[in-house]
Chains A and B, each alone.
Chain A
């Protein structure tokens, strides 16, 4: 390695550390916002997180220069890219598009976990790759897989939030409908839930508006969670965005495997788990389209998918031997 590359390697490490601490600070700030509902806290959280994302990007670029290649060659580098994309997906898609800051703490928890895992279990210094990794399919495959992982990951975090919110809405609905006369019929009940339809046997998120109504907006401004329906929709969007990317990534991996190993599919543990994850999210999308599986049941499927995503990403490399284990 040239002295110049060594310098860049140092920059990469410092930027990595800066990103990690910024994410931790951002996570705490988002939780403070959730607890005290002060607007300035939300602003601080976003600013700190954006700073962390800039640090993450710096780390990735510097690492790439130190490596003299695209820095997607091992788990440490994947962790940098994944946490960066998770944060960017959250900032752009959740916070900007949907205007909700309440989920920031949970998403950042995921990003912090990813970075910390990368630093403590997977650290390797910059350097060249094994010949089998020298393929432009590596870049396409890894880019697709990491992008998909970040989208599916964020989608699943929203799903967890949905499950909690859904339960609390159901409880609220039950309490309201047991009161005489049902105040819900009269008009607005200040729960942040909704002025709505009668409480029948339909699940509550069918009754709730899309979360872009005035009530929901006010709730968001006060640091409340979006409605279960809005969360459900957000999660669905993330997952239905991530799923084709995942599919594409797996296919690129198969094409690369055909070129490098002479077979497009060999049930190597990483391949197997990427298939399992694909299957579960395919199940989720089908479940959403099936009567009786909508809502919390589909959410549970997504949750199982989240676990599978983790296994695909970490466990295969940490505990299960296979062809992808050199990705350590």
Chain B
């Protein structure tokens, strides 16, 4: 050959790599490797599912943690090596599927091939029948066609086969995974998923800043947030007497990007809303006590504060924990920080203060807002659930009830003038607690691949059934003149489910004999 040797080697090794990828063994090993990688992903906490456990792991095992981080063990399912295994597996699948599909199409088009030696097949019978050969041949073909065999007639022979559904099913099953991958890539790649925190009575608009960083976008996402609006009319959480949640319901109005209300929806767990290509799910909820802060009677800060909860210690139900939030007054010198603690049930608050035992608070009942005022230099202007009190000096800590106004610095309760009903604020810095609202966290997402993935999933199941439960089988019938009648030779074999085919073959022989005018007695038939 005149081809340069280096080129040849390259081509050869490429051909070798392609051949190895195509082998079932490679696919099998890759499949089991994928399983192994997933094991790692399930045993080590994952950034995606439990970031707080990852952080804890890094604290507990700093050295191992660093190694894990470098090896992407905290993000197994997005790691380069997981992607590599998946890619190789799909290349291998692809490499396997193309020639198989071609072969399947060829064999589906091809007529069944005539056999040379029928008596060499695993199943074989000879029968003498009364009718003449041409009639027997035609009748045999009819019998086989009626039993859904594909047939091809020669001069003295009918070749028949059945069960191409097995290969088609298997191909469907495997191609479905290519479609599945496509659906995942399209859906996750161009889509996004985020969490919107909406307080009762407020309207939230789908745009990046409104997620407060709680949004994950796909690799090919082009910042085309939908712009739809969600107006939360009300949120309700209800519980059974045992404290087990019964229902979480967000009543919403859905607005198009122009701000028109197009529909209302009840969003609850297992009952998402679908609106203009967006899926909206009930995800979380919480309390948002309203707070007004006044300097000399003039409002300087206020509004509902969406509060968060700490993780409960072992044995303490989440429902027994208070809700936390902060207010920061950075225009005061020195800065004022207020740590807010909200107890939905006042009786539960007092009871737990006295007994030290946690009490669940499933419903709003004489709520209590406890606040602690600090002063000093505050560096972080962001609103957090908890106030970083390092370097701050605590001024006081007080509890208050809805409708009350309290001096922030001293904790004195300001009572309205009995005649005018007005409060004399003086020069005080005050906090007022007019009432409580709830907020709902809705998961907002766009995944254009879901229907493709569902389609692929249906194909997987549909393909699997014939691929596992049907069998390819072939039958040949040769007819020769013998005396006044014919000698019929019937041979056949099955590639799968051989035991079942033996019964089917016996029934076929009976049917073929009957179609040929019945067995001629007296003549000896050679039956093994």
Binding site for B on A (CB under 8 A): 127-128, 130-132, 134-135, 210, 212, 240, 243-244, 247-248, 251, 254-255, 258-264, 266-269, 272-273, 275-276, 279-280, 282-283, 285-287, 289-290, 293, 301, 308, 316, 320-322
B244 A128 Cβ-Cβ under 8 A: yes
* Interface size, chain B (Cβ < 8 Å): 50
B363 within 8 A of A: no
B53 A264 Cβ-Cβ under 8 A: no
**B453: nearest residue on chain A (CB-CB)?**
A264
In the complex with contacts A244-B464, A262-B281, A321-B270 CB distance below 8 A: no
A263–B270 alpha-carbon span in the complex (Å) = 12
Contact with B464, one of A247, A254, A273, A320 (Cβ below 8 angstroms): A247
Please tell me which stretch of B135-143, B245-253, B302-310, B393-401 contacts chain A, meaning at least 4 of its Cβ atoms lie within 8 angstroms of it. B245-253
With both chains docked as a complex, state the minimum distance between the C-beta of A2 and any C-beta of chain B, in angstroms: 14
With both chains docked as a complex, state the minimum distance between the C-beta of B34 and any C-beta of chain A, in angstroms: 6
Residues of A contacting B76 in the complex (Cβ-Cβ under 8 angstroms): 267
A279 B32 Cβ-Cβ under 8 A: yes
Binding site for A on B (CB under 8 A): 24-25, 27-28, 31-32, 34-35, 38-39, 41-43, 46, 48-50, 53, 76-77, 193, 240, 242, 244-248, 268-272, 279, 281, 283, 443, 445, 447, 450, 453-454, 457, 460-461, 464-465, 468-469, 499
B31 A279 Cβ-Cβ under 8 A: yes
Contact with A135, one of B41, B77, B248, B270 (Cβ below 8 angstroms): B270
A275–B39 alpha-carbon span in the complex (Å) = 10
B244 A272 Cβ-Cβ under 8 A: no
With both chains docked as a complex, state the minimum distance between the C-beta of A230 and any C-beta of chain B, in angstroms: 11
**B170: nearest residue on chain A (CB-CB)?**
A289
A248–B38 alpha-carbon span in the complex (Å) = 20
Residues of B contacting A321 in the complex (Cβ-Cβ under 8 angstroms): 50, 53
B283 A262 Cβ-Cβ under 8 A: yes
The 7 closest A-B pairs by CB, nearest first: A262-B281, A279-B35, A131-B269, A272-B42, A251-B457, A262-B443, A135-B270
B242 A247 Cβ-Cβ under 8 A: no
A260 B269 Cβ-Cβ under 8 A: yes
Residues of B contacting A320 in the complex (Cβ-Cβ under 8 angstroms): 42-43
Residues of B contacting A260 in the complex (Cβ-Cβ under 8 angstroms): 269-270, 281
B453 A244 Cβ-Cβ under 8 A: no
Residues of B contacting A275 in the complex (Cβ-Cβ under 8 angstroms): 35, 38
A130–B35 alpha-carbon span in the complex (Å) = 31
**A261: nearest residue on chain B (CB-CB)?**
B281
Chain B binding surface, main DSSP class: helix
A258 B42 Cβ-Cβ under 8 A: no
Contact with A243, one of B32, B42, B246, B468 (Cβ below 8 angstroms): B468
With both chains docked as a complex, state the minimum distance between the C-beta of B437 and any C-beta of chain A, in angstroms: 22
With both chains docked as a complex, state the minimum distance between the C-beta of A17 and any C-beta of chain B, in angstroms: 25
A210, A244, A282: most-surrounded residue (chain B CB, <10 A): A244
A240–B496 alpha-carbon span in the complex (Å) = 13
A130 B193 Cβ-Cβ under 8 A: no
A255–B268 alpha-carbon span in the complex (Å) = 17
B268 A131 Cβ-Cβ under 8 A: yes
With both chains docked as a complex, state the minimum distance between the C-beta of B460 and any C-beta of chain A, in angstroms: 6
B461 A251 Cβ-Cβ under 8 A: yes
A244 B35 Cβ-Cβ under 8 A: no
B28 A286 Cβ-Cβ under 8 A: yes
A132–B443 alpha-carbon span in the complex (Å) = 15
With both chains docked as a complex, state the minimum distance between the C-beta of B60 and any C-beta of chain A, in angstroms: 15
A287 B270 Cβ-Cβ under 8 A: no
In the complex with contacts A262-B272, A262-B281, A255-B39 CB distance below 8 A: no
Residues of B contacting A269 in the complex (Cβ-Cβ under 8 angstroms): 42
A127–B28 alpha-carbon span in the complex (Å) = 45
**B496: nearest residue on chain A (CB-CB)?**
A289
A267–B443 alpha-carbon span in the complex (Å) = 18
Residues of A contacting B27 in the complex (Cβ-Cβ under 8 angstroms): 286
B244 A244 Cβ-Cβ under 8 A: no
Contact with B242, one of A127, A132, A283 (Cβ below 8 angstroms): A127
With both chains docked as a complex, state the minimum distance between the C-beta of A257 and any C-beta of chain B, in angstroms: 11
**A292: nearest residue on chain B (CB-CB)?**
B25
B270 A283 Cβ-Cβ under 8 A: no
Given contacts A267-B42, A283-B35, 17 further A-B contacts (CB under 8 A): A131-B248, A131-B269, A131-B270, A132-B270, A134-B270, A240-B468, A251-B460, A254-B457, A255-B457, A259-B271, A260-B270, A262-B279, A262-B281, A267-B77, A279-B31, A287-B28, A293-B28
With both chains docked as a complex, state the minimum distance between the C-beta of A142 and any C-beta of chain B, in angstroms: 15
Residues of A contacting B42 in the complex (Cβ-Cβ under 8 angstroms): 267, 269, 272-273, 276, 316, 320
**A278: nearest residue on chain B (CB-CB)?**
B35
**A291: nearest residue on chain B (CB-CB)?**
B24
In the complex with contacts A128-B246, A262-B272, A321-B50, A247-B461 CB distance below 8 A: yes
What are 10 residue pairs bridging A and B, where the CB atoms are less than 8 Å apart in the complex? A131-B248, A131-B269, A135-B270, A247-B461, A262-B445, A264-B450, A267-B41, A272-B41, A276-B39, A321-B50
A266–B47 alpha-carbon span in the complex (Å) = 12
Residues of B contacting A272 in the complex (Cβ-Cβ under 8 angstroms): 38, 41-42
A262 B193 Cβ-Cβ under 8 A: yes
A267–B43 alpha-carbon span in the complex (Å) = 12
A289–B100 alpha-carbon span in the complex (Å) = 15
Residues of B contacting A282 in the complex (Cβ-Cβ under 8 angstroms): 31
With both chains docked as a complex, state the minimum distance between the C-beta of A121 and any C-beta of chain B, in angstroms: 18
**B37: nearest residue on chain A (CB-CB)?**
A276
Residues of A contacting B32 in the complex (Cβ-Cβ under 8 angstroms): 279-280, 283, 301
In the complex with contacts A262-B443, A264-B450, A128-B28 CB distance below 8 A: no
**A284: nearest residue on chain B (CB-CB)?**
B28
Residues of B contacting A251 in the complex (Cβ-Cβ under 8 angstroms): 457, 460-461
A322 B49 Cβ-Cβ under 8 A: yes
With both chains docked as a complex, state the minimum distance between the C-beta of A248 and any C-beta of chain B, in angstroms: 5
With both chains docked as a complex, state the minimum distance between the C-beta of A84 and any C-beta of chain B, in angstroms: 25
With both chains docked as a complex, state the minimum distance between the C-beta of A220 and any C-beta of chain B, in angstroms: 17
**B247: nearest residue on chain A (CB-CB)?**
A131
B35 A280 Cβ-Cβ under 8 A: yes
A286 B454 Cβ-Cβ under 8 A: no
A251–B173 alpha-carbon span in the complex (Å) = 14
Residues of A contacting B247 in the complex (Cβ-Cβ under 8 angstroms): 131
A273–B49 alpha-carbon span in the complex (Å) = 15
B279 A244 Cβ-Cβ under 8 A: no
A221–B495 alpha-carbon span in the complex (Å) = 31
A255–B76 alpha-carbon span in the complex (Å) = 23
A258–B42 alpha-carbon span in the complex (Å) = 20
A130 B245 Cβ-Cβ under 8 A: yes
Contact with B31, one of A135, A268, A286, A322 (Cβ below 8 angstroms): A286
A130 B244 Cβ-Cβ under 8 A: yes
A261–B49 alpha-carbon span in the complex (Å) = 13
With both chains docked as a complex, state the minimum distance between the C-beta of A251 and any C-beta of chain B, in angstroms: 5
**A260: nearest residue on chain B (CB-CB)?**
B270
A68–B246 alpha-carbon span in the complex (Å) = 15
B460 A247 Cβ-Cβ under 8 A: yes
A258–B184 alpha-carbon span in the complex (Å) = 13
With both chains docked as a complex, state the minimum distance between the C-beta of A254 and any C-beta of chain B, in angstroms: 7
**A131: nearest residue on chain B (CB-CB)?**
B269
With both chains docked as a complex, state the minimum distance between the C-beta of A324 and any C-beta of chain B, in angstroms: 11
With both chains docked as a complex, state the minimum distance between the C-beta of B344 and any C-beta of chain A, in angstroms: 19
B248 A276 Cβ-Cβ under 8 A: no
Residues of B contacting A293 in the complex (Cβ-Cβ under 8 angstroms): 25, 28
A255 B464 Cβ-Cβ under 8 A: no
